[in-house]
């Protein structure tokens, strides 16, 4: 159990539309959740409300700002069912974490959970405003809730006007896609997830063809180059260096892309207007380990607002396929929930525990902890984390085989929180203090339903990073 209680104040407050009531605009090109509901989480800002999958626990809402903003306060308001318990809020992944324990506020101006009033949670008490590039909220055991707004205030206590991209109907086709194609489709250029990206099958000069349902004007593009899950992933794979852009009206432009983490905005030499646009990758930066060329995210700017092609259909097809596979194998209960397992050993590391969370959207989180000494000896304990995604290899009655891939790292002694994807913030290539070098992780798991609603998970891959070969998992207690 985590002995740190983090309070995330997500205030669902309806934001006034008066221009004088707002501070400056804050541009938010990427918003995603690990528990997609009926609407995309962008609707929290564009429509004023949003609800995740009503059956999901440990729902996370990730927000990545185009540019860092100063934050002095957060307010979160729920509609109907209240949000209860202590909710972790992470700023810039693990740069800042909201703690109830004042012990952690001694050396840095950590914000504090300050108020609960009716259906509103307030997070303020900052010693000074902090620079925020990303905010992640973990709703822990809450499920079936709905948010009615999220207010983010600047150093003058004025709420930002959050600007999000328009979602447009359209299509994208790639000349080369890494297998399995469903895991690397070019539609993932618009899904706001660093875990998923478009990747080629070794082709360093692919073509991407974009089709828009209505005529569009494009003046700029915003690109997240390479595989931005981590610096290790980014530089292990190829990245885009030069794009030849063609399209309707005999449009032609050539643009250079920097070999850099984070997003970059490229102004086109001349605006494009039309329904069909083609990117030809004519040059690329070579990956240190893989030949595949990877591009994580892409946005278009029409002169007034940013927009993206709707990835909803592709994402929902993947969710349905995963649910069907889990249901066929008798493991449906594992989706969108949290399961834990532990065992004692008669030799080092003496004890092992693990938590696994598999989401219907294909994302995966696995944490583990282990003791390297017995009760009579002094020793070291560590925690490890896998942040990634899975691919269903085979689904048959009472047998589900998955390939798990992603980012792996370890931390000696205790770590506060579930790490929440720390290290994926591509504005920083170095891991936080105390972490080992990030590693590219891959293994295969076999999941079988066992008695009393438990699941036996066998690590059938070559990786020993999970520290167990076979472990029985049961649903994590949802009591406060």
What tens digit of pLDDT does each residue of 50-75 get?
A: 999 999 999 999 999 999 999 999 99
Q: Which residue has the tokens 């003496």?
A: 350
**Contact call for residues 343 and 471 (beta carbons, < 8 A):** yes
pLDDT at res. 15: 32
217 and 256, same structural domain?
Answer: yes
Q: What is the CATH number of the domain that holds 214?
A: 2.60.120.260
200 and 301, same structural domain?
Answer: yes
- Determine, yes or no, domain membership for 9: no
Residue 158 makes CB contacts below 8 A (sequence gap 6+) with 21, 22, 23
- Separation of alpha carbons 347 and 337, rounded Å: 32
**Contact call for residues 170 and 214 (beta carbons, < 8 A):** no
- Separation of alpha carbons 389 and 195, rounded Å: 7
- Determine, yes or no, domain membership for 323: yes
Nearest Cα residue to 475 out of 143, 86, 68: 143
83 and 107, same structural domain?
Answer: yes
- Separation of alpha carbons 199 and 214, rounded Å: 27
Angle at 226 between CA 223 and CA 230, to 5 degrees: 115
356 and 291, same structural domain?
Answer: no
403 burial type by CB count under 10 A (0-12 exposed, 13-18 middle, 19+ buried):
middle
State which residues form the domain around 248: 167-310
Residue 258 makes CB contacts below 8 A (sequence gap 6+) with 225, 264
- Render pLDDT for 73-126 as a digit per residue (tens, 0 to 9): 999 999 988 888 768 888 887 666 665 444 544 555 566 666 666 788 888 877
Task: Enumerate residue ranges in the chain where pLDDT < 50.
Answer: 1-21, 100-102, 104-105, 374, 413-417, 420-423, 426-429, 432, 434-435, 480
389 and 331, same structural domain?
Answer: yes
Nearest Cα residue to 469 out of 478, 457, 477, 455: 457
- Determine, yes or no, domain membership for 97: yes
Residue 195 makes CB contacts below 8 A (sequence gap 6+) with 229, 363, 387, 388, 389, 406
pLDDT at res. 479: 59
Count: domains in the chain: 3
Q: Which residue has the tokens 């329904």?
A: 275
240 and 128, same structural domain?
Answer: no
Pairing of strands 120-124, 89-91: unpaired
Nearest Cα residue to 160 out of 171, 151, 168: 151
**Contact call for residues 308 and 167 (beta carbons, < 8 A):** yes
pLDDT at res. 472: 95
- Determine, yes or no, domain membership for 220: yes
Q: Tell me how far CA of residue 315 lies from CA of 172, 304, 318, 477, in angstroms.
A: 14, 28, 5, 29
**Contact call for residues 226 and 182 (beta carbons, < 8 A):** no
**Contact call for residues 324 and 346 (beta carbons, < 8 A):** no
- Determine, yes or no, domain membership for 8: no
- Determine, yes or no, domain membership for 180: yes
**Cα-trace Rg, the chain:** 22
Which residue among 164, 195, 211 closes a domain? Answer: 164
- Render pLDDT for 12-41 as a digit per residue (tens, 0 to 9): 232 333 334 456 899 999 999 999 999 999
- Determine, yes or no, domain membership for 268: yes
- Determine, yes or no, domain membership for 12: no
Nearest Cα residue to 150 out of 24, 9, 12, 41: 12
pLDDT at res. 5: 29
């Amino acid at each position: 159990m985590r002995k740190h209680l983090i309070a995330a104040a997500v205030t669902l407050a309806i934001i006034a539309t008066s221009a004088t009531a707002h501070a400056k605009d804050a541009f938010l090109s990427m918003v995603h959740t690990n528990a997609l509901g009926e609407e995309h989480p962008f609707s929290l800002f564009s429509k004023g409300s949003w609800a995740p999958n009503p059956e999901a626990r440990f729902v996370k809402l990730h927000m990545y700002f185009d540019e860092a903003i100063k934050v002095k306060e957060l307010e979160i308001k729920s509609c109907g069912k209240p949000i209860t318990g202590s909710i972790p809020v992470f700023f810039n992944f693990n740069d800042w974490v909201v703690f109830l324990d004042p012990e952690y506020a001694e050396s840095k101006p950590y914000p504090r959970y300050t108020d609960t009033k009716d259906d509103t949670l307030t997070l303020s008490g900052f010693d000074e405003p902090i620079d925020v590039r990303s905010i992640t909220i973990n709703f822990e055991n809450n499920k079936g809730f709905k948010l009615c707004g999220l207010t983010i205030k600047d150093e003058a206590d004025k709420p930002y006007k959050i600007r999000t991209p328009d979602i447009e109907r359209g299509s994208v086709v790639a000349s080369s896609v890494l297998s399995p194609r469903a895991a690397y489709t070019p539609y993932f250029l618009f899904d706001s997830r660093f875990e998923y990206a478009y990747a080629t099958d070794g082709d360093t000069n692919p073509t991407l063809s974009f089709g828009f349902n209505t005529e569009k004007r494009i003046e700029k593009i915003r690109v997240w180059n390479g595989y931005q899950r981590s610096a290790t992933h980014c530089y292990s794979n190829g990245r885009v260096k030069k794009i030849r852009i063609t399209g309707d009206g005999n449009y032609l432009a050539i643009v250079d892309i920097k070999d850099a983490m984070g997003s970059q905005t490229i102004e086109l030499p001349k605006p494009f207007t039309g329904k069909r646009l083609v990117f030809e990758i004519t040059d690329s930066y070579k990956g240190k380990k893989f030949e595949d060329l990877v591009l994580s995210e892409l946005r278009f700017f029409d002169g007034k607002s940013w927009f993206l092609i709707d990835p909803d259909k592709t994402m929902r097809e993947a969710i349905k396929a995963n649910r069907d596979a889990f249901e066929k194998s008798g493991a449906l209960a594992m989706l969108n929930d949290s399961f834990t397992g532990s065992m004692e050993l008669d030799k080092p590391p003496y004890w092992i525990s693990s938590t696994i969370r598999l989401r219907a959207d294909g994302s995966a989180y696995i944490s583990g902890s282990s003791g390297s000494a017995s009760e009579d000896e002094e020793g070291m304990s560590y925690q490890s984390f896998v942040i990634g995604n899975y691919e269903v290899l085979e689904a048959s009655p009472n047998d589900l085989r998955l390939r798990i891939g992603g980012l792996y790292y370890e931390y000696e002694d205790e770590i506060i929180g579930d790490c929440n994807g720390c290290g994926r913030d591509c504005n920083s290539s170095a891991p936080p203090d105390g972490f080992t070098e990030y590693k590219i992780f891959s293994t295969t798991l076999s999941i079988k339903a066992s008695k009393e609603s438990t699941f036996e998970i066998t690590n059938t891959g070559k990786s020993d990073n999970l520290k167990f070969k076979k472990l029985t998992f049961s649903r994590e207690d949802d009591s406060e």
